[in-house]
């Protein structure tokens, strides 16, 4: 049986279905609750702009918990 090592940070491929804004906000809510952060504040910030803002906000709060991965050059060049 193959298992994920405990030290590996999970990834979210935003090029696929997990990159949907609502899915990402669901992840954000779950991670915020697990970390004891105010999910409502984070979700409000994520929704305060466009999709790029959503990605930047997600990364701001959860970059040490999960890696966002993409092959989209528009997202690879973001200043995260």
Task: Write the pLDDT tens digit of every residue in 12-37.
Answer: 999 999 999 999 999 999 999 999 99
13 phi and psi angles, rounded to 5 deg: -85, 105
Segments making up each domain of the chain, as ranges: 20-76
Mean pLDDT taken over the chain: 91
Residue labelled with tokens 């590996």? 8
Assign 3-state DSSP to the chain and report helix, strand, coil percentages, each to 5. Answer: 50, 10, 40
Burial class (CB in 10 A: 0-12, 13-18, 19+), 66: middle
User: Pick from 37, 36, 57, 38: which is nearest to 46 by CA?
Assistant: 57
Asked whether residue 65 carries a pLDDT value surpassing 60, the answer given is yes
């Amino acid at each position: 049986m193959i298992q994920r090592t405990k030290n590996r940070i999970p990834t979210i491929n935003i090029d696929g279905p997990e990159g949907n804004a609502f899915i990402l906000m669901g992840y954000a809510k779950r991670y915020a609750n697990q970390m004891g952060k105010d999910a409502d504040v984070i979700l409000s910030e994520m929704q305060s702009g466009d999709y790029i803002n959503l990605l930047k906000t997600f990364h701001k709060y959860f970059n040490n918990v999960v890696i966002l991965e993409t092959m989209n050059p528009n997202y690879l060049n973001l200043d995260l």
